Amino acid sequence: MISFWLLVTILDAHDLPAMDRNGMSDPYVKLSILPERKQKYETKIIRNTLNPIYNETFLFSLPFNELQSKTLSLTVYDYDRLSKDDKMGQLSIPLESIDFGTTTEICQYLNKPENDDDRYQKLQSYRNTNLCRIACKFPIRMPRTFTVFNEKKLYQPCP
């Protein structure tokens, strides 16, 4: 089976809702490939901000013949030290919509989280919530040899 390396760089987010009493949030992003969710990653937590800058790159290995049927799932959370982390929003990007062989930047609004709970009342201004500059990088050619990177997070700046 031929594998394909998918590099996803989470650059930053803008105008996230305040989830903490101090008027700020402690956001981080969870990434996975649907429908399996076998490969899961998350960014570091950026404390006390509504405009986090991540600049973190993640590597997914996917079978080439299944690539078009997969979806990149991104969920933004607010970290809470003493309670369950709050979902701030989510975004699903079908890989069939990506132009392979190029670097594609996607800037889209977050969708309302699937789980509605009482804490969700804080997210009234959802139209202003924006997860910006998600760069999905795709190699122009598939490598002939493969190095296995199982569940490793790559910290490298986006060129």
Residue 72 sits in a domain whose CATH number is 2.60.40.150
pLDDT digits (tens, 9 = 90+) for 20-72: 889 999 999 999 999 988 889 999 999 999 999 998 988 888 887 888 899 99
- Assess if residue 61 is contained within a domain: yes
> Total structural domains in the chain?
1
Domain range for 106 is 3-143
Higher-scoring residue by pLDDT: 27, 159: 27
pLDDT digits (tens, 9 = 90+) for 82-100: 889 999 888 898 988 877 7
CA distances from 50 to 3, 65, 97, 147, 157 (A): 37, 39, 29, 37, 21
- Assess if residue 97 is contained within a domain: yes
Mean pLDDT of the chain: 75
